[in-house]
Structure 1
């Protein structure tokens, strides 16, 4: 575990690539574990799709509001240490997570790429006005114009915001250390970002399960909370 701290201390420009495993210690379930949202008998690929949003907006709304929102969740030590490194000008975070906890931990917002969007950014599909997420949790319909609200996250069948892609690629090309944390690293295009890295950059992953990494990478299999507790800030 101390290897992670040594690498972070030696690095000049770090990119953190983070997934759902970063937020489990904050009480937010992950997706692909035995009891996650993608476990047997559930159909998140449809329920979180653009097709479901359009064809069955009530079904989509019920699934999202009942399963994805954890407004009382607080950042844990992983978010906090990453935020400190960002605010020192040493790191950029690229996250699959839609829970907003990296920014809630205090990380400079311009240095956090929320690759798949943010649940707490909500807008009306009819008038395009931004709406507080608390209103969305109470009612699917916009009180202003009667249009249907949606959270600003990337659904199945939708494309990634091009600005997020470009910012991610630029950060990876400038990094001398890439730290992959809490992700199965199988969801594309997120997992494909690694191919745009600076070829001289060191790669380390911290995850409960081993993941597929480029040759020469370091795999730290274990609890990311314990690993980041040992990172000096």
Structure 2
């Protein structure tokens, strides 16, 4: 285990380099598991448990004769004694009022930052203040996480971002029927007096049984919906399902902040995650991804000796200061993760570069799920309104329209006739005779079958032959008898 003193980093160069390496690991890892305790809420004004000014010391100082130790006030056995039960209710009511007046600290917002950057695999917390939900992480004990399906799961495990291991002080639960309700001002008023309110659901059932002359049942009392020591968790099965799912996804970094790691159940959870994270890291220093596979513990007090070999780095200091340095180094090392894309539109119909623009969308390029602005349903497929365009060239429509000469098509692109053997296809295929009429007259029929006579019709026939494409016959030389040899 390497111990890094956050306050002494200015004087030690090796500490500065080691802290910068941890910041780079946070910036590069994509599946980070964070386990937190009461130490991350100290800056919000909520005391932790085991420090000199924590809750245990405050309880012992305020009620010295009622409880032996401060831990006894958060043990399930306190309900056996009415006096310790009344003290418990009074103390929880005062703690709830101080939590309502406080706001989330920098560490809570850092968890939400990791989630928005798609780097947070899951957050597990021992805190009951619900500050993670105020920062934007859906808690397992909140009403929004309740499952309305028919399955065995009581919560929507896939949507839960922060697992509340010790319950939620903002809700109350019946000790008899386990019905849950939001903690109201009336509940706090009765808790502050040391009185437990009756369960409305049990009271309604009891009155219904009395109305039908049935045997009356016991009416349960409401108590803060937090998990005490030696008490089973109402959502234990669902939390076990979430933990197994996160282990199977093989996280690449584990950050533990603000807890002393004393609770048995939390120790088991941290050791299992640490084993998985170390298996995801590089097997040798020479291999790539040296920034993965680290287990970091941030707390003012050191962990016990049993964590040697499990925790890699112990950062001594406040969690708020460490997350502030990680965020600052992250912005310097990887500025592209912090770029924001803005969508601008012109105002007053001016589309020139000198017009006024307004931002209609601002999305983070790395963290946002979708950088495109989705169109509204009522404006889908609607053309934009016409805007006045200012052009530097004369309007084209004002110019006179001239006749454009179209060149003739090439022979290969001319329209072909339906029949290949047409008269116009080639001169050699043109008809040399006119088509005969159907049904010849008697005079014309004699021209075909009778002897030739010098007639007007024959002259007409000769004229028709002259109009054809045939060349005239060549004249034959006259016959003179024997040829006379010259020079004989």
TM-score by length of 2: 0.45
User: More displaced, 17-26 or 34-43?
Assistant: 34-43
Distance in 1 between residues matched to 2:231 and 2:77, nearest whole Å? 10
Question: Is residue 192 of structure 2 the alignment partner of residue 162 of structure 1?
Answer: no
Q: CA deviation at 1:98?
A: 0.9
Evaluate the alpha carbon distance shift between residue 121 and residue 172 of structure 1 in structure 2; reply closer, same or farther with a 3 A threshold: farther
Question: Is residue 169 of structure 2 the alignment partner of residue 119 of structure 1?
Answer: yes
Question: Is residue 300 of structure 2 the alignment partner of residue 208 of structure 1?
Answer: yes
Residue 48 of structure 1: aligned partner: 74
Among 158, 172, 195, which residue is 2:271 paired with? 195
Higher RCO (CA-CA < 8 Å; seq separation 6+): 1
Evaluate the alpha carbon distance shift between residue 27 and residue 34 of structure 1 in structure 2; reply closer, same or farther with a 3 A threshold: same
Residue 482 of structure 2: aligned partner: none
SS at match of 2:56: coil
Distance in 2 between residues matched to 1:105 and 1:79, nearest whole Å? 6
Distance in 2 between residues matched to 1:113 and 1:143, nearest whole Å? 26
Among 77, 82, 89, which residue is 1:61 paired with? 89
Could you report, residue by residue, the CA deviation over 1:81-121 in whole angstroms, capped at 9, with x for unpaired residues? 11121233321100011111111110243011101111112
Evaluate the alpha carbon distance shift between residue 17 and residue 143 of structure 1 in structure 2; reply closer, same or farther with a 3 A threshold: closer
Could you report, residue by residue, the CA deviation over 1:161-193 in whole angstroms, capped at 9, with x for unpaired residues? 232233234324521100000111122110221
Q: CA deviation at 1:73?
A: 1.6
Structure 2, unaligned stretches of length 5 or more? Answer: 1-18, 61-68, 140-159, 191-195, 204-218, 280-292, 331-337, 339-488
Among 141, 144, 169, which residue is 2:197 paired with? 141
CA contact (8 A) 2:199 2:221 kept: no
Q: CA deviation at 1:22?
A: 0.6
User: More displaced, 78-87 or 15-24?
Assistant: 78-87
Distance in 1 between residues matched to 2:199 and 2:237, nearest whole Å? 31
Q: Count residues in correspondence.
A: 233
Residue 46 of structure 2: aligned partner: 28
Residue 461 of structure 2: aligned partner: none
SS at match of 2:100: coil
Residue 218 of structure 1: aligned partner: 313
Distance in 2 between residues matched to 1:124 and 1:65, nearest whole Å? 17
Distance in 2 between residues matched to 1:147 and 1:195, nearest whole Å? 38
* Misfit runs of 4+, over 4 Å: none
1:64-103 alignment runs, 5 A limit: 64-67=92-95, 69=97, 70-91=99-120, 92-103=122-133
Residue 153 of structure 1: aligned partner: 226
CA contact (8 A) 1:48 1:156 kept: yes
Residue 171 of structure 1: aligned partner: 246
Q: CA deviation at 1:44?
A: 2.8
Residue 57 of structure 2: aligned partner: 39
Distance in 1 between residues matched to 2:138 and 2:21, nearest whole Å? 26
CA contact (8 A) 1:21 1:182 kept: yes
TM-score by length of 1: 0.89
Evaluate the alpha carbon distance shift between residue 94 and residue 10 of structure 1 in structure 2; reply closer, same or farther with a 3 A threshold: same
User: More displaced, 9-18 or 156-165?
Assistant: 156-165
Evaluate the alpha carbon distance shift between residue 143 and residue 115 of structure 1 in structure 2; reply closer, same or farther with a 3 A threshold: closer
Structure with the larger strand share = 1
CA contact (8 A) 1:172 1:178 kept: no
CA contact (8 A) 1:94 1:168 kept: no
Distance in 1 between residues matched to 2:244 and 2:261, nearest whole Å? 16
